[in-house]
Structure 1
Amino acid sequence: MSLAHILLIMLAGVAAGTINTVVGSGTLITFPTLLAFGYPAVTANISNTVGLVAGGVSGSWGYRREITAGRQRLRQLAPMSLLGAVVGALLLIWLPPSAFKAIVPVLILVGLLLVVFGPRLQRRMAAHHPDGTQPESAGRKVALAGGVFFAGVYGGYFGAAQGVLLMGLLSALLPDSLQRLNGIKNVLGTIVNGVAAMVFIIVSFHNVRWWVALLIAIGSLIGGLVGAKVGRKLPPWLLRAFIVVVGVVAIVTMI
């Protein structure tokens, strides 16, 4: 592994950790980077998932005030993320690599659409409950639990734009402020990545490239802290435009 190889993977990890904390979709940075270096798709996805856990932890730490305020939500939703992550990770392992190669471009495209249209959905839904007083119906709670479970399956299988998907879902169904929801999103996403990583290590140890995972972990750990501290000051449109460009390159590469 050359020095340029090491630096580029680590920098991709920094970018992914920052973007995951602020927007979501950091996988659309690291995953294509690993593909460009010639790693097989499933191996790249598994190693990437293991590495990004560190960024989720640091990003969640940066949002600890919002997370403390939303701890009751997390107690309700975390089990659904955990179960979904196990299902998604096992699907990745059990389905043939050819299925992953066929499914991932579609998932990336869905992720890009969420990146582009997610903020508009968030603003529209947040306008429905600006003061946090909207009552929560039983149907809404069921929809929220089911949606978080599906996001966990999605995140365990691939995970690009999982954060955007979660933010759209949470802002549509919960009356909390968007900053608090972003903290909750960071914890749920970290749970999914952490659980999926554990499943991969136990069931598919041979597919983990540990040097790659370590480099992404170091980069994403830094990126999570950066995202929590200064990410809100960065122009969201610039981050999303960058993600879209990288995602389109990934789709073209895989096709």
Structure 2
Amino acid sequence: MGPLEALAILIAGLGAGTINAVVGSGTLLTFPTLLAFGFPPVTANVSNTIGLVPGSVAGAWGYRRELAGQRRRALRLGLASLLGGAAGGVLLLVLPEHAFETIVPVLIALGVLLVIFGPRISAWVAKRHGDGGGEHWWVWPAVLATGVYGGYFGAAQGVLLMAALGIGVADTLQRLNATKNVLAAIVNGVAGLIFTLVADVDWRVVALIAIGSVMGGLLGAFVGRRLPPQVLRGVIVVVGVVALVALLAK
């Protein structure tokens, strides 16, 4: 790996950490960068996942004020992310690379639509159930399923999480975004641990992405926490659409 390649990977990690803290889908920066430099797909995926773990933790730390009072929610949904991330990591190692190629774009498109129509759907759900408080029963399995996807690949994991949380949990978008960062960190962390133990990891890539993603995670938290709900929702939709187009264009 030459100095220019190392710099490009570092910058991609910075961008990915920033995007992940605000929305998610930072993998769409780092993963193609690694492929462009000739890294095998599975090695690129597992090295990228491990490298993004510190950035995910940094993003969650940047949102620590919005996490106040969410300990029980974070623990409950964190268990779903832990189980899902572990399952997704194992699936990456045992399934053919093309196994999820059909379903992934569908999931991202669904996530974008749910983010767009989330407020209306939330109002309808609240009206049907008689109140707007609490958390609906299907949020936990939705987070579990998103964890499986995140452990397997992870692009637009944040979009899917924000869609589920925004519709199923009565809280502000910024506080839910803080929860999303914690859940994504758990998914990346458990999948990364599995990859560390059994997969082919390029630790040079891990180090570069980790350094960049930590800086990006703190930057993304600083920016994301200051976005009005409508703007944040718009950013989520734009990133989700870009992710969908990028995957369909492969």
| Residue 31 (structure 1) aligned with residue 31 (structure 2) | yes
Shift of 1:242: 6.8
**Alignment counterpart, residue 161 of structure 1, candidates 137, 150, 156:** 156
- Structure 2 gaps, min length 5: none
Alpha-carbon distance in structure 2 between the residues aligned to 1:246 and 1:162 = 10
| Residue 121 (structure 1) aligned with residue 121 (structure 2) | no
Are 1:85 and 1:156, in contact at CA under 8 Å, matched by a contact in 2? yes
Q: Deviations over 1:152-173 (max 9, x none)?
A: 1111111111111011001111
Q: How does 1:145-184 map to 2 (within 5 A)?
A: 145-184=140-179
Deviates more, 1:173-182 or 1:231-240: 231-240
Match of 1:109 in 2: 105
Alpha-carbon distance in structure 1 between the residues aligned to 2:238 and 2:211 = 25
Alpha-carbon distance in structure 2 between the residues aligned to 1:173 and 1:185 = 13
| Residue 198 (structure 1) aligned with residue 193 (structure 2) | yes
| Residue 209 (structure 1) aligned with residue 202 (structure 2) | yes
* Larger helix percent: 1
Are 2:60 and 2:178, in contact at CA under 8 Å, matched by a contact in 1? yes
| AA partner of residue 75 (structure 1) | L
Are 1:85 and 1:153, in contact at CA under 8 Å, matched by a contact in 2? yes
Change (3 A) 1:9 1:250: farther
Are 1:25 and 1:115, in contact at CA under 8 Å, matched by a contact in 2? no
Q: Deviations over 1:39-92 (max 9, x none)?
A: 111111100000000110110011001112211211211111101111110111
Are 1:156 and 1:192, in contact at CA under 8 Å, matched by a contact in 2? yes
Shift of 1:238: 7.0
Alpha-carbon distance in structure 2 between the residues aligned to 1:55 and 1:243 = 20
Give the percent of matched residue pairs that are identical in Structure 1 and Structure 2.
49
Are 1:88 and 1:156, in contact at CA under 8 Å, matched by a contact in 2? yes
Change (3 A) 1:37 1:111: farther
| AA partner of residue 7 (structure 1) | L
Alpha-carbon distance in structure 2 between the residues aligned to 1:233 and 1:134 = 24
Match of 2:221 in 1: 228
Q: Deviations over 1:174-202 (max 9, x none)?
A: 10111110000000000000000001111
| AA partner of residue 218 (structure 1) | I
SS at match of 1:66: coil
Shift of 1:3: 1.5
Match of 1:134 in 2: 132
Change (3 A) 1:203 1:18: same
Match of 2:18 in 1: 18
TM-score between the two structures when normalised by the length of structure 2: 0.86
Alpha-carbon distance in structure 1 between the residues aligned to 2:163 and 2:239 = 20
Alpha-carbon distance in structure 2 between the residues aligned to 1:180 and 1:9 = 31
Change (3 A) 1:152 1:29: same
Q: Deviations over 1:9-41 (max 9, x none)?
A: 111111111111111111111111111111111
Change (3 A) 1:110 1:36: farther
Are 1:111 and 1:160, in contact at CA under 8 Å, matched by a contact in 2? no
Alpha-carbon distance in structure 2 between the residues aligned to 1:22 and 1:115 = 16
SS at match of 1:171: helix
Change (3 A) 1:33 1:72: same
Change (3 A) 1:11 1:115: farther
Are 1:28 and 1:108, in contact at CA under 8 Å, matched by a contact in 2? no
Alignment RMSD (CA, Å): 2.5
TM-score between the two structures when normalised by the length of structure 1: 0.84
